[in-house]
Structure formats: structure tokens, C-alpha cells
Amino acid sequence: MNIYKLNYINKETAIADLKAKGIMLEEGYGIGVHAIVEIGIICINEQTEEILPIFAEGYHYDVMCEQEIDFGENEIQVNHPKHSFAGYEQNTDSPVLEV
């Protein structure tokens, strides 16, 4: 099983790429895709009434699928993930994003 953590400029770009790769269909997932998780915009600090939120760059998705897919520069590694698939680790050959 392949786990991909993805970072795009915005939601529209992400959806367009996922559809172009056959991962996301108009209704449901492509063949071999088990899950697409929309993470969205990630807050990277603890916010309080006195501290404004700081957000990681981009719009994030996680994908679990059977096949290997080349996401290019959109595939990232995350040191402190906000989401994970139980029992699976992320692929380890992509750049690290401090989130």
C-alpha cells in the first residue's frame, strides 16, 4: 500500500491534479485508490486569544492507494502529521515539510 502526503498551492489545483491522475473521479475513487483525505489548510501553532494562528503553506491531501504514483513536487514528508492511516507509514523518499 502506498501512502502519499500531498501539498498543493490551493484546493482547486489539488482537485485538478487528483482528477487528471485518475485518483479522484466525479463520484468516488479511481481503481486501486482506498482513500482520499482532504486535510486542507494546516495550523502549525498553538493559538490562544493573544496568539494568532500561523498556517503552513499550501492545501493538503493524503492519499492511500495500491499503485505507485508520481506526484512530483507535490509529494511531501511531514515530521508531525495531522492525519495518518492506522497501521501504515508514509512513503519516505519525498521532501520534508515542517508541519
Query: What's the mean pLDDT when you consider all of the chain?
Result: 87
Q: State the distance between the two ends of the chain, measured CA to CA, in whole angstroms.
A: 23
pLDDT (average), residues 60-85: 88
Percent of the chain whose predicted confidence (pLDDT) is above 70: 84
Domain ranges of the chain: 2-97
pLDDT, residue 60, reads: 95
Whole-model pTM: value is 0.81
> pLDDT per residue over 10-42, tens digit each?
999 999 999 999 999 999 999 999 999 999 999
